[in-house]
Structure 1
Amino acid sequence: MSDPRSICLLRTSAIGDVTHVVPLVRTLQQAYPQASLTWLVGKLERKLVGDLPGVEFVTFDKGAGWAGIRAVWSGLRGRHFDALLQMQVAMRSNLLSLGIKTRRRIGYDHARAKDLHGLVINERIPARTGEHVLQAIGSFCEPLGLQQTDIRWDIPIAEQDHAWAAEQLPGDQPTLLVSPTSSHALRNWQAQRYAAVMDHAAARGWRVVLIGGPSPAERAMADAVLAACHHAPLDLTGKDTLKKLMAMFCRAQLLLTPDSGPMHMANTVGMKVLGLHAASNPARSGPYSDRRWCVDKYDAASRKYLGRPASEIPWGSKIEYPGVMDLIEVDEVIERFEAAALAMGISQ
């Protein structure tokens, strides 16, 4: 079988999952340097990865409904790809893929397929369980005869974004960034518990910075956290961009966050992440490179809400019940904070 000359990648969202596609892009570029890569990506997500060299990006505006789908189809009219990597199983993405002309339509195995995914593909990745999302996405190169062995991101960050981050976080004071809001509200921790950890870090001599996007939900959470803090943190909520946030991750030492896009963005630059996991399994969706600093109450959540240990529930199950994140105690998060600080040699 000859090497593919053109490959279409379909993974439009979300931010964390889009970061997991980047190592696959690097694998394909190394194996097939002459192949053209076209990535169908979401409008917001393109702001993070849209300047990856050697990749053509086609923006999908999911908020536009059918008009957004038709716009992508129109832009690809007359084009034919050697392979489509259909890495998203949602109904909207399955419909979107119908406008992509290709003879090889590679999708998920039966266990991970849903929303009529099997009707829009003709090849499947190997059936496995127990994989991190990044590994599952990386396996899309296997039907092409490849293996993803090296994990490399190198998402571009402009000098002006690094300069902005240096203005916000001058000097070398150890810095804790706190991104308190997930797009899944039931993954969020209580505001007063975030505040307790932030106050502890401030008392230990750390600079504490509250971050988040401009949405009303993120602003409301930030305000609740600020109201509960005794030591006022620097509040940058809604003041950055995805690239500026990446630049801050390059300067700060530790990120405190639930399972969210910023968790995975921080991981791409090697930042330590204190992830809060009860509603989701950190082995599947935690920071890929290093989960030593995470608090893992997923098994406890499974036992409480599902009546059986996590080892007996389907891989990837979400335990998004009201109150599930309350299983994570402040003292447990402070213990992980102190362990990370010790590992970095920070003794304030």
Structure 2
Amino acid sequence: MPTVRALQRQWPDARITWIIGRGEHSLLAGLPGVEFVVYDKSTGLAGMRAIWRELRETPFDVLLHMQQSIRASVLSLGLKARVRLGYDRARAKDWQTWFTNRQLTPHPKAHVLESFMDFARELGVDDDRLEWGIPLPDAAREEARQFLAGRPALVISPCASPRLRNFRNWSAEGYAAVIEHAWRHHGLTTFLTGGTSAQEVEMCERIAAGLSEAVPVNLLGRTSLKGLLAIIDEARMVIAPDSGPVHMANAMNTPVLGLFATTNPERAAPWCWREHVVNRYPDAVATYLHKPLDEIVWGTRVRHEDAMSLITFEDVIHRLDALLALTADHEKSTRGVSHDV
């Protein structure tokens, strides 16, 4: 989003086509000045061919190959583009350089957001201020109002995407203790968000079983994606592991407390709130990879099921209390303001 905004500032009349997944499109629909072409990943090669047919009469000046996957690279083969800009060799994954004819200038140890903005810089954009401005329709705001019912909200999305060896989730017991603390000491009602996978349902059941006083609102599978964004927009704070909701909160300028141990927050933390994450990544690297940080490849994940247990309840409430105090007068009118990158 900030990259698209930067391109629009530089070239207001440019035609921007964004090939996007179905779920992501439901979040960004309504974005002015962008033509979305939706790709349903479940359709495989047939879906790619449909996109190729749709865009076969459209020659592009430049293709920004920002998604690193074989699927994205194969899809790019059917698009007519004079310049195919991808990552430099140090950052490229899944043989992406085979599918591009121009690479970004190297940028060692870049945050993911910085890597995205490097595409705009490579094209000559100087104004790289960060702006999001995701459209929120009235229906989404009404959805949020009905769920929140005027209650000061702490949004917790306890689970990252359920993928193979994706050990990013903290403990149910830890979340339960944080929910009790937020209720007793700050008067915050917790709203549990996420999907309806077995992992997420079980996690929220275990969280509820560990509570004695606070009563969270379970929103698993009950909101639209735009509705969830509106809830996050109204929330006092969001807590989540390295997952979509921390970046949704960042985009809406909602205070967010990210929980990091298996991924490096220097690379992937919510940008505007990166100084406030719980960071046990160095401890996880030392404990489970048996190396200091300066001896591992940038972006290395700690794929150990116990790594997130290095985060303690005290770590989280210390950050929670400090961030709530810091943002006590946090004004949502600052949403959409520019941030330096």
- Give the structure-2-normalised TM-score: 0.91
Please give the per-residue CA displacement for 1:100-148, whole angstroms capped at 9, x wherever unaligned.
1111000000011122211110001111122111110011022322235
* 1:221 aligned residue: 203
* 2:155 aligned residue: 177
Identical aligned residues as a percent: 40
3-state SS, counterpart of residue 191 of structure 2: strand
What letter matches 1:189 in structure 2?
W
Please give the per-residue CA displacement for 1:226-270, whole angstroms capped at 9, x wherever unaligned.
222222211111111111111111211111100000110010011
Is the 8 Å Cα contact of residues 267 and 289 (structure 1) preserved in structure 2?
yes
Please give the per-residue CA displacement for 1:60-114, whole angstroms capped at 9, x wherever unaligned.
1111121122121121122210100001121111111101111100000001112
Matches within 5 A, 1:209-288: 209-230=191-212, 231-288=214-271
Partners of 1:296 and 1:75 in 2: CA distance:
45
The CA deviation at 1:217 is 2.7
Is the 8 Å Cα contact of residues 24 and 148 (structure 1) preserved in structure 2?
no
Partners of 1:248 and 1:320 in 2: CA distance:
32
3-state SS, counterpart of residue 106 of structure 1: strand
Matched, 1:186 2:186: no
3-state SS, counterpart of residue 111 of structure 1: coil
Please give the per-residue CA displacement for 1:274-306, whole angstroms capped at 9, x wherever unaligned.
110000111111111112331000100111111
* 2:189 aligned residue: 207
3-state SS, counterpart of residue 291 of structure 1: helix
Which stretches of structure 1, 4 residues or longer, exceed 3 Å deviation after superposition?
Answer: none
- Aligned residues, how many? 324
Q: Kindly report the root-mean-square deviation, in angstroms, between the aligned alpha carbons of the 2 structures.
A: 1.4
- Give the structure-1-normalised TM-score: 0.90
CA pair 193-84 structure 1, distance change in 2 beyond 3 A: same
Is the 8 Å Cα contact of residues 29 and 135 (structure 2) preserved in structure 1?
no
Gaps of 5+ in 1: 1-21
Please give the per-residue CA displacement for 1:185-221, whole angstroms capped at 9, x wherever unaligned.
4100111111111111122222111111233332222
Gaps of 5+ in 2: 330-341
Please give the per-residue CA displacement for 1:11-57, whole angstroms capped at 9, x wherever unaligned.
xxxxxxxxxxx111111111111110000101111101122111001
- More deviation, 115-124/139-148: 139-148
Is the 8 Å Cα contact of residues 233 and 254 (structure 2) preserved in structure 1?
yes
3-state SS, counterpart of residue 314 of structure 1: coil
* 2:324 aligned residue: 341
Partners of 1:225 and 1:64 in 2: CA distance:
36
* 1:13 aligned residue: none
